[in-house]
């Protein structure tokens, strides 16, 4: 396998969004030592540290738990666990995106590369500028996806909390014969007195706990 050519760019991968740091920590996994060394050199020229260099997908999974990388560069064909399987594990367990490095451009590999966790695909030998662009796009896509997922989760939590509060309010209305604003005021007072969120107080009430 050809050794990747030296990088011609020293521009670092920039930060993406407000909540994410610039890309600076990457795992490299390739069972060909010379290729791995070339990738590490490219990363260094971009101001990115290769926090672990692995020969198998299984090693990359273990390294992800110890080295705290932000992204993984994975050869598609490795012993133990191939790059696509490794990418799926890294994304599902740690939300670590991957860029696949491969000598194969067949449709079967490209189709498989659309699996969860793969955010880029590069053909060997890897050029420095191509790697920089692939990392930029992959990191941006992953960060945006994570950010969107977190917003969706927060929205779902907010809606769930509101449903609990509404349920508790109308139970108070039914049991005590009071107005909806009065029921809400009771929940608010209980939340202040207990120093809990109103949704926690409402859930406690619905579970049989006292309010006052």
Let me know whether 73 and 139 are in one domain. Answer: yes
Let me know whether 47 and 83 are in one domain. Answer: yes
pLDDT tier at 2, thresholds 50, 70, 90: very low
Final residue in a domain of this structure, among 112, 129, 151: 151
In a domain, 13, yes or no: no
Q: Whole domain around residue 173: which residue ranges?
A: 154-206
**Can you give the CATH number for the domain in which 172 is found?**
1.10.10.10
* Cβ atoms < 10 Å from Cβ of 95: 13
Q: Using alpha carbons, list the distances in angstroms from residue 71 to 28, 39, 43.
A: 9, 13, 12
Let me know whether 190 and 143 are in one domain. Answer: no
Q: Rounded to the nearest 5 degrees, what angle is found at the Cα of 198, between the Cα atoms of 195 and 202?
A: 115
In a domain, 116, yes or no: yes
Residue burial 72-84, b: 16+ Cβ < 10 Å; e: rest: bbbbbebeebbbb
**Can you give the CATH number for the domain in which 56 is found?**
3.40.50.2300
Q: Using alpha carbons, list the distances in angstroms from residue 190 to 198, 201, 208, 211.
A: 8, 7, 14, 6
In a domain, 93, yes or no: yes
In a domain, 15, yes or no: no
In a domain, 14, yes or no: no
Lowest mean pLDDT among 12-21, 50-59, 93-102: 12-21
The rounded mean pLDDT for the chain is 85
Let me know whether 105 and 168 are in one domain. Answer: no
Let me know whether 166 and 202 are in one domain. Answer: yes
What pLDDT, in 10s, does the model give residues 125-148? 998 899 999 999 999 999 988 888
In a domain, 1, yes or no: no
**Does 5 have pLDDT greater than 70?**
no
pLDDT of residue 69: 96
In a domain, 123, yes or no: yes
Which is more confident, 104 or 57? Answer: 57
User: How many domains are there within the chain?
Assistant: 2
Q: Determine how β-strand 49-54 pairs with β-strand 71-75.
A: unpaired
Let me know whether 118 and 136 are in one domain. Answer: yes
As a whole number, mean pLDDT of residues 110-139 equals 87
pLDDT of residue 20: 63
Let me know whether 66 and 141 are in one domain. Answer: yes
What pLDDT, in 10s, does the model give residues 54-98? 999 999 999 999 999 999 999 998 988 899 999 999 999 999 999
Let me know whether 132 and 160 are in one domain. Answer: no
Question: Which has the closest alpha carbon to 28: 56, 3, 50?
Answer: 50
pTM: 0.65
Let me know whether 164 and 123 are in one domain. Answer: no
Let me know whether 120 and 173 are in one domain. Answer: no
As a whole number, mean pLDDT of residues 158-164 equals 87
Let me know whether 184 and 113 are in one domain. Answer: no
pLDDT tier at 4, thresholds 50, 70, 90: very low
Let me know whether 169 and 97 are in one domain. Answer: no
As a whole number, mean pLDDT of residues 137-163 equals 84
In a domain, 133, yes or no: yes
């Amino acid at each position: 396998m050809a050794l990747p050519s030296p990088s011609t760019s020293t521009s670092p991968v920039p930060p993406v969004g407000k909540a994410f740091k610039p890309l600076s920590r990457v795992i490299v996994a390739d069972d060909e030592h010379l290729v791995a060394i070339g990738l590490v050199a490219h990363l260094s020229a971009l101001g990115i540290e290769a926090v672990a260099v692995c020969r198998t997908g299984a090693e990359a999974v273990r390294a992800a738990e110890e080295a705290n990388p932000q992204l993984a560069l994975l050869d598609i064909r490795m012993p133990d666990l191939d790059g696509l399987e490794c990418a799926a594990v890294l994304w599902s367990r740690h939300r670590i995106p991957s860029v696949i490095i491969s000598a194969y451009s067949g449709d079967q590999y490209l189709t498989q590369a659309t699996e969860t966790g793969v955010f880029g695909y590069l053909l060997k030998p890897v050029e420095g500028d191509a790697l920089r662009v692939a990392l930029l796009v992959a990191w941006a896509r992953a960060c945006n996806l994570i950010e969107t997922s977190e917003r969706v989760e927060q929205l779902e939590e907010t809606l769930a909390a509101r449903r609990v509060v509404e349920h508790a309010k109308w139970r108070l209305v039914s049991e005590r014969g009071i107005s909806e604003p009065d029921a809400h005021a009771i929940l608010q007072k209980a939340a202040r007195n207990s120093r809990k969120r109103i949704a926690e107080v409402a859930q406690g009430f619905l579970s049989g706990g006292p309010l006052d």
